[in-house]
């Protein structure tokens, strides 16, 4: 629906009041009639997540030999999936933090579930390095703690930086998400009819009562957290790219990695937000809150970050073919494009660069079905980007006698598909039990929220 004043798509459909917004969003959580579709999806996702459980139990019993990792490809699916998932998480932080700092009001409708997406993606991501270490029960050795062995971590390694970056990211994301939810939990506490819900939401709301003094401090804290999360999110993917870029392997050792990893992360994350938002808005009839404006804007962000990613690929090709004058770099890029696994590079180019150019067309961006399809394509492409970086840089190294290949096993696939199930499973729990759209922030965007001077007020009272 177009706004008559600005000529742009409206952020929220007209005609909503504080009450209607509250009711519409809180009803999804407080309803005694859970939709059957929710149960169906929840069960399906739970079933797929069980596959992860089986795969991980088998891994713990047998060790990482059940995966396809070997020499020279010692990093396989686990690292690909880790980078893919954590990249997806980054869009949540971008929406909640960076767009907040830029005062992009339209983000309000989608920020809560984008943040939830971040947390669940980090849950999936964080698991991979842990199970990849081989002896996950010793994972705490990564942290500096005074042990009787008298050994300490080695702080010059990017892999250790990763531990701090990812653990900080997980912590701050959870805190930001929870703090943002406190006022809405207060609303749920006050509106719920059942004793259990009142108790649970009351406990979680910490006694929130909406005092303006609290609100002022709350707003300050939110802004500060946004200001802190912004450099954090950029640093997290930068540090992850250091895992590669600091190594001397051709295909990894480039300075373009940090910016192009961050752009790729945001690219895939926005695609995942769209993948989630479009079915949810349809299923829960939230077209008034998550409007075409949101979908259109997210399409534009994807187009922009997609072009940055394309620039990253182009720089890599330029650097390795011409600029480096290094035989090894040249061979790596030739092998990446035309070697036995060259198909993966072309899948990546098709999904990440060629097809997303359709996003230039406004009609395409405003069509939920088409952009949903595009989001799936982009996330496939982004998965292949990590596959290309990890596998095609490693499988043919300096010495032809040590060349190998990489063929993922069924356990690799089961673990990956299992995390998709876990992610969806957690998301189903979230949309059922927590407010997925921040009610307090939507109220702020309504025209009624504008404070009018006294003169107008008395006029209104007269009619």
Asked if residue 330 binds other proteins (CB under 8 A), the reply is: no
Of positions 4, 15, 207, 462, contacts other proteins by CB under 8 A = 207
Tokens of 27: 């009803």
* Minimum separation from the CB atom of position 209 to other proteins (A): 6
* Minimum separation from the CB atom of position 294 to other proteins (A): 20
Asked if residue 451 binds other proteins (CB under 8 A), the reply is: yes
* Minimum separation from the CB atom of position 154 to other proteins (A): 6
DSSP label at 94?
A: I
Q: How far apart are CA 384 and CA 344, in angstroms?
A: 6
Asked if residue 247 binds other proteins (CB under 8 A), the reply is: no
* Minimum separation from the CB atom of position 208 to other proteins (A): 7
Asked if residue 315 binds other proteins (CB under 8 A), the reply is: no
What is the per-residue DSSP string for 127-195? HHHHHHTS-GGGGGGGS----TT-----TT-HHHHHHHHHHHHHHHHHHHHHHHHHHHHHHHHHH--SH
10 Cβ contact partners less than 8 Å away, ≥ 6 residues apart: 1, 2, 3, 291, 293
Complex with other proteins: residue 410 or 459, whichever CB lies closer = 459
* Minimum separation from the CB atom of position 147 to other proteins (A): 11
Tokens of 362: 């406004």
Asked if residue 457 binds other proteins (CB under 8 A), the reply is: yes
Residue 143 CB neighbour total at 10 angstroms: 11
Asked if residue 197 binds other proteins (CB under 8 A), the reply is: no
* Minimum separation from the CB atom of position 121 to other proteins (A): 19
Asked if residue 461 binds other proteins (CB under 8 A), the reply is: yes
Asked if residue 410 binds other proteins (CB under 8 A), the reply is: no
Of positions 76, 186, 251, 381, contacts other proteins by CB under 8 A = 186
Locate tokens 């108790």: which residue?
199
Asked if residue 371 binds other proteins (CB under 8 A), the reply is: no
Residue 337 CB neighbour total at 10 angstroms: 17
* Minimum separation from the CB atom of position 162 to other proteins (A): 9
Asked if residue 221 binds other proteins (CB under 8 A), the reply is: yes
Residue 235 CB neighbour total at 10 angstroms: 17
* Minimum separation from the CB atom of position 141 to other proteins (A): 13
Asked if residue 27 binds other proteins (CB under 8 A), the reply is: no
* Minimum separation from the CB atom of position 420 to other proteins (A): 28
CA distances from 361 to 10, 166, 275, 375 (A): 19, 37, 19, 15
Asked if residue 449 binds other proteins (CB under 8 A), the reply is: yes
Site string for other proteins, 106-145 (x = CB under 8 A): --------------------------------------x-
Question: Hey, what long-range contacts does 133-136 have (CB within 8 A, 24 or more apart)?
Answer: 134/63, 134/64, 136/60
Give the residue among 24, 9, 78 at the shortest CA–CA distance from 191: 24
The stretch among 216-224, 333-341, 408-416, 429-437 that binds other proteins (CB under 8 A) is 216-224
Instruction: Evaluate whether 407 touches 73 at the Cβ level (below 8 Å).
Output: no
* Minimum separation from the CB atom of position 381 to other proteins (A): 29
Give the residue among 332, 347, 331 at the shortest CA–CA distance from 391: 332
Tokens of 421: 């199930």
Of positions 14, 210, 340, 404, contacts other proteins by CB under 8 A = 210
77 Cβ contact partners less than 8 Å away, ≥ 6 residues apart: 67, 68, 69, 408, 412, 415, 416
* Minimum separation from the CB atom of position 145 to other proteins (A): 11
Residue 444 CB neighbour total at 10 angstroms: 11
Instruction: Evaluate whether 153 touches 144 at the Cβ level (below 8 Å).
Output: yes
Asked if residue 31 binds other proteins (CB under 8 A), the reply is: no
Asked if residue 261 binds other proteins (CB under 8 A), the reply is: no
Total of chain residues touching other proteins, rule CB under 8 A: 69
Binders of other proteins among 142-171, rule CB under 8 A?
144, 150-158, 160-161, 164-165, 168, 171
Which residues make up the interface to other proteins (CB under 8 A)?
17-19, 22, 26, 144, 150-158, 160-161, 164-165, 168, 171-172, 175-176, 179, 183, 186-187, 189-191, 206-221, 224-225, 228-229, 231-232, 235, 239, 242, 439-441, 443-444, 448-449, 451-452, 454, 456-457, 461
């Amino acid at each position: 629906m177009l706004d008559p004043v600005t000529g742009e798509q409206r952020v929220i459909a007209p005609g909503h009041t504080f009450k209607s917004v509250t009711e519409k969003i809180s009803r999804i959580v407080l309803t005694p009639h859970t939709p059957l579709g929710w149960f169906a999806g929840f069960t399906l996702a739970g079933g797929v997540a069980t596959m992860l459980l089986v795969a991980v139990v088998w891994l713990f019993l047998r060790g990482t030999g059940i995966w396809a990792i070997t020499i020279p490809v010692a990093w396989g699916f686990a690292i690909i999936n880790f980078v893919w998932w954590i990249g997806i998480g980054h869009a949540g932080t971008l929406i909640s933090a960076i767009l907040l700092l830029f005062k992009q009001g339209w983000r309000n409708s989608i920020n809560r579930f984008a943040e939830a997406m971040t947390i669940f993606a980090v849950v999936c991501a964080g698991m991979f390095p842990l199970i990849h270490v081989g002896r996950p029960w010793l994972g705490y050795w990564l942290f500096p703690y005074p042990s009787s062995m008298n050994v300490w971590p080695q702080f010059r390694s990017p892999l250790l930086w990763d531990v701090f970056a990812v653990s900080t990211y997980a912590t701050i994301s959870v805190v930001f998400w929870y703090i943002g939810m406190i006022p809405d939990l207060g609303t749920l506490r006050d509106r719920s009819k059942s004793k259990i819900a009142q108790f649970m939401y009351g406990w979680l709301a910490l006694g929130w009562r909406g005092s303006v003094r609290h609100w002022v401090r709350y707003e300050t804290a939110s802004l500060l957290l946004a200001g802190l999360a912004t450099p954090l999110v950029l640093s997290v993917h930068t540090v992850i790219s250091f895992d590669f870029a600091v190594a001397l392997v051709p295909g990894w050792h480039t300075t373009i990695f940090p910016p192009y990893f961050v752009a790729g992360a945001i690219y895939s994350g926005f695609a995942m937000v769209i993948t989630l938002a479009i079915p949810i808005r349809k299923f829960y009839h939230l077209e008034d809150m998550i409007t075409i404006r949101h979908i259109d804007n997210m399409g534009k962000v994807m187009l922009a970050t997609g072009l940055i990613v394309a620039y990253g690929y182009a720089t890599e090709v330029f650097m390795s073919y011409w600029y480096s004058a290094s035989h090894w770099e040249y061979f790596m890029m030739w092998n990446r494009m035309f070697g036995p696994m060259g198909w993966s590079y072309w899948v990546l180019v098709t999904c990440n660069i060629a097809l997303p150019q359709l996003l230039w067309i406004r009609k395409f961006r405003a069509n939920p079905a088409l952009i949903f399809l595009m989001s799936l394509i982009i996330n496939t492409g982004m998965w292949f980007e990590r596959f290309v970086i990890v596998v095609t840089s490693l499988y043919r190294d300096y010495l032809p006698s040590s060349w190998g290949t990489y063929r993922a096993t069924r356990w690799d696939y089961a673990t990956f598909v299992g995390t998709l199930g876990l992610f969806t499973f957690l998301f189903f729990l979230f949309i059922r039990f927590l407010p997925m759209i921040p009610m307090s922030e939507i109220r702020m965007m309504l025209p009624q929220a504008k404070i009018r001077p006294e003169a107008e007020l008395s006029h209104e009272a007269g009619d």
